């Protein structure tokens, strides 16, 4: 009798319930899923754990082909059907496919499904095999010689939730990608092994080391150590990194950042939350300058979650006609005539969830996500449309509009400005474009050429927030602005300190010698205004003259009675 016939006889001696019992016994010992497909009786049986993971109707079912449509990813179903047809026709003796099943929450998961087809010589009778996930994280990493995230999860489930204290120290190699790009992935793999060995040298009793992502490691402390212990351990790791750099004769210079997650931070959290917290802590250390560690803080994490939620609301607003955005106007006063000469258009954002979100919070998020491009375009058109309305009563009124450096670098902003000015029939000389964070764009010759085009059209250019951040005197020559605006922080220093006041006076005199106008921001009281008048600025703005307000309120306060 041939091998196939022997197997058939053996199967005939085993009942369906016995097959099911064998699978039940095997599945706790395996990460994979064992299955049997009785082709004759249209019956399918699989490890019970598969039902917890995938959208299977049950661990055993009939009407096999139709039921597969419930959990096989729709795009992969035709190929599976073709393979099964070949098996049914007796043209194939082994099933081997990589395709996708749907998880319980309907997400596609890649699997590898293998099955040996058993026939009686004339027709296929059974298919018995194994399914394993091929998109999951490895349990171990052969490069570093360490266990992986899946093994870490098992450690938590077995023991860590029962401990009263301890910590996770998540370590990340700073700028490791550059090392791979410069020296190659083989060198990078060798370095990862050296670093893993170095971190191992820093482990204490009852600590385990795991490989997380490509250039990240996790130390799990199981001995109730404190945050101070974690910080000391991080410093040991950093010294070990310095030693490795020196031993390798500085061929690859790198540093290591760390995120510390104390046990009390996640006593009632899921493993997924714990991984998010540790990754957040490491990223905070990297954003803080790298080569340092940061201890997880719930308040900071709450701020992070708030910012991510606000980003969602900003996207929703952009996709819903900029609902929630509004253009406010703040008056600009000319000191020589003691009268209104214009207004700065300021963006405001209102939400049902958070109320009014401060510009200092949502504008950086617009820039971070690139949403500043559509929102900035909306703000440009909104501001000029309001200016058009005011010009009906005050034709010399000037509107000042802020432009982010992101808009300058990533959009055709000059064309947009000129098109909008023309569309609203605005006299170009009544438009002031305020460039924020000017120092980030002046190194690009293309930018200075673009701003030259604006000036050719008789549109005014103002440098905003002068005296802080990147602002510098050489921008006078690079961008050739018409106006410089002195930031409120500089104004306060000048009001409180004679040296700063004299410095401001020198700046104003120099600007005037170059035929530039000066606007002092942040004037809030009569006393501040009187002192600022001593340095002879051209314009002022601040709460003393008027707070930013909606269009109708601005018109009622400053235009109707002017």
CATH number for the domain harbouring residue 221: 3.30.70.270
Is residue 485 domain-shared with residue 432, that is, in the same domain? yes
Domain assignment present for residue 13? The answer is: yes
Model confidence pLDDT, tens digit, residues 305-346: 999 999 999 999 999 999 999 999 999 999 988 899 999 999
| Intra-chain end-to-end CA distance of the chain, in Å | 109
Is residue 111 domain-shared with residue 150, that is, in the same domain? no
Is residue 271 domain-shared with residue 374, that is, in the same domain? no
Q: Which residue range is the domain that position 189 belongs to?
A: 140-296
Can you read off the two tokens belonging to residue 390? 């005011």
Buried b (16+ CB within 10 A) or exposed e, 75-110: ebeeebeebbeebeeeebeebeeebbbbeeeeebbe
CATH number for the domain harbouring residue 92: 3.30.450.20
pLDDT on residue 491: 85
Token look-up 């079912």 returns 61
CATH number for the domain harbouring residue 444: 3.20.20.450
Is residue 73 domain-shared with residue 168, that is, in the same domain? no
pLDDT on residue 2: 44
Domain assignment present for residue 310? The answer is: no
Please state, in angstroms and rounded to a whole number, the distance separating the CA atoms of residues 402 and 406. 12
Closest residue by Cα to residue 176 from 75, 255, 107, 270: 255
Answer yes or no: are the C-beta atoms of 527 and 498 closer than 8 Å: no
Is residue 474 domain-shared with residue 344, that is, in the same domain? yes
Domain assignment present for residue 307? The answer is: no
Domain assignment present for residue 520? The answer is: yes
Domain assignment present for residue 447? The answer is: yes
Please state, in angstroms and rounded to a whole number, the distance separating the CA atoms of residues 426 and 412. 20
CB neighbour list of residue 327: distance below 8 Å, 6 or more residues apart: 345, 346, 347, 348, 379, 382, 383, 386, 551
Please state, in angstroms and rounded to a whole number, the distance separating the CA atoms of residues 84 and 99. 14
Give the bridge partners for 168, in sequence order: 220, 261
Is residue 358 domain-shared with residue 498, that is, in the same domain? yes
Q: Sheet with 33-38: list strands edge to edge.
A: 60-62, 43-46, 33-38, 124-133, 108-119, 94-102
**Pair type for strands 33-38 and 43-46:** antiparallel
pLDDT on residue 4: 46
Can you read off the two tokens belonging to residue 386? 């309001």
Is residue 102 domain-shared with residue 47, that is, in the same domain? yes
Domain assignment present for residue 99? The answer is: yes
Q: Which run of H or of E encompasses 302?
A: helix 298-319
pLDDT on residue 26: 64
Domain assignment present for residue 355? The answer is: yes
Is residue 102 domain-shared with residue 207, that is, in the same domain? no
pLDDT on residue 510: 87
Q: Which residues does the chain have with pLDDT short of 50?
A: 1-8, 438-439, 469-470
pLDDT on residue 468: 57
Is residue 489 domain-shared with residue 509, that is, in the same domain? yes
Domain assignment present for residue 518? The answer is: yes
How many separate domains does the chain show? 3
Answer yes or no: are the C-beta atoms of 317 and 323 closer than 8 Å: yes
Please state, in angstroms and rounded to a whole number, the distance separating the CA atoms of residues 293 and 286. 8
Is residue 286 domain-shared with residue 158, that is, in the same domain? yes
Alpha helices in 159-226 (DSSP H): 176-183, 185-200
């Amino acid at each position: 009798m041939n091998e196939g016939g022997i197997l058939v006889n053996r199967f005939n001696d085993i009942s369906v319930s016995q097959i099911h019992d064998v699978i039940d016994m095997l599945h706790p010992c395996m990460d994979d899923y064992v299955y049997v497909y009785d082709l004759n009786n249209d019956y399918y049986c699989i490890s019970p754990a598969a039902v917890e993971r995938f959208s299977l109707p049950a661990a055993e079912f009939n009407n096999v082909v139709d039921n597969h449509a419930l959990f096989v990813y729709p795009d992969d179903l035709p190929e599976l059907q073709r393979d099964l047809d070949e098996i049914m026709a007796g043209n194939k003796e082994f099933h081997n496919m990589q395709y996708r099943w749907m998880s319980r929450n309907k997400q596609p998961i890649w699997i590898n499904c293998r099955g040996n087809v058993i026939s009686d010589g004339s027709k296929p009778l059974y298919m018995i095999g194994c399914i394993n996930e091929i998109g999951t994280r490895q349990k171990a990493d052969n490069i570093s010689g360490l266990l992986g995230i899946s093994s870490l999860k098992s450690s938590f489930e077995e023991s860590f939730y029962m401990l009263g204290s301890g910590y996770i120290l998540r370590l990340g190699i700073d700028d490791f990608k550059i090392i791979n790009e410069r020296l190659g992935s083989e060198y990078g793999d060798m370095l990862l092994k050296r670093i893993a060995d170095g971190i191992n040298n820093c482990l204490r009793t009852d600590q385990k080391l795991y490989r997380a992502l490509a250039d990240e490691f996790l130390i799990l402390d199981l001995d109730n150590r404190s945050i101070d212990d974690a910080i000391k351990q991080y410093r040991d790791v950093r010294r070990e990194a310095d030693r490795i750099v020196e031993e390798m004769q500085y061929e690859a210079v790198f540093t290591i950042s760390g995120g510390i997650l104390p046990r009390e931070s996640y006593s009632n959290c899921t493993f997924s939350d714990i991984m998010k917290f540790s990754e957040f802590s490491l990223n905070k250390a990297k954003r803080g300058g790298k080569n340092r560690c940061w201890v997880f803080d719930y308040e900071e994490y709450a701020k992070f979650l708030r910012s991510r939620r606000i980003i969602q609301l900003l996207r929703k607003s952009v996709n819903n006609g900029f609902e929630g955005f509004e253009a406010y106007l703040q008056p600009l006063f000319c000191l020589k005539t003691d009268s209104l000469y214009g207004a700065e258009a300021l963006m405001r954002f209102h939400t049902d969830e958070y109320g009014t979100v401060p510009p200092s919070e949502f504008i950086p998020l617009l820039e971070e996500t690139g949403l500043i491009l559509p929102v900035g375009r909306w703000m440009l058109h909104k501001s000029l449309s309001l200016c058009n309305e005011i010009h009906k009563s005050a034709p010399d009124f000037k509107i000042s509009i802020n432009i982010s450096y992101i808009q300058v670098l990533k959009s055709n902003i000059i064309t947009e400005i000129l098109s909008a000015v023309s569309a609203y029939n605005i006299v170009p000389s009544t438009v002031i474009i305020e460039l924020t964070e000017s120092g980030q764009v002046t190194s690009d010759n293309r930018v200075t050429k673009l701003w030259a085009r604006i000036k050719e059209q008789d549109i005014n250019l103002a440098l905003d927030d002068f005296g802080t951040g990147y602002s510098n005197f050489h921008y006078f020559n690079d961008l050739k602005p018409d106006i410089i605006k002195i930031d409120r922080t500089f104004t306060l220093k000048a009001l409180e300190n004679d040296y700063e006041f004299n410095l401001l006076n020198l700046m104003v005199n120099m600007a005037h010698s170059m035929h530039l106008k000066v606007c002092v921001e942040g004037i809030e009281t009569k006393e501040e205004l009187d002192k600022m008048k001593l340095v002879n600025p051209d314009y002022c703005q601040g709460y003393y003259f008027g707070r930013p307000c909606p269009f109708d309120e601005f018109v009622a306060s400053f235009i109707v009675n002017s």
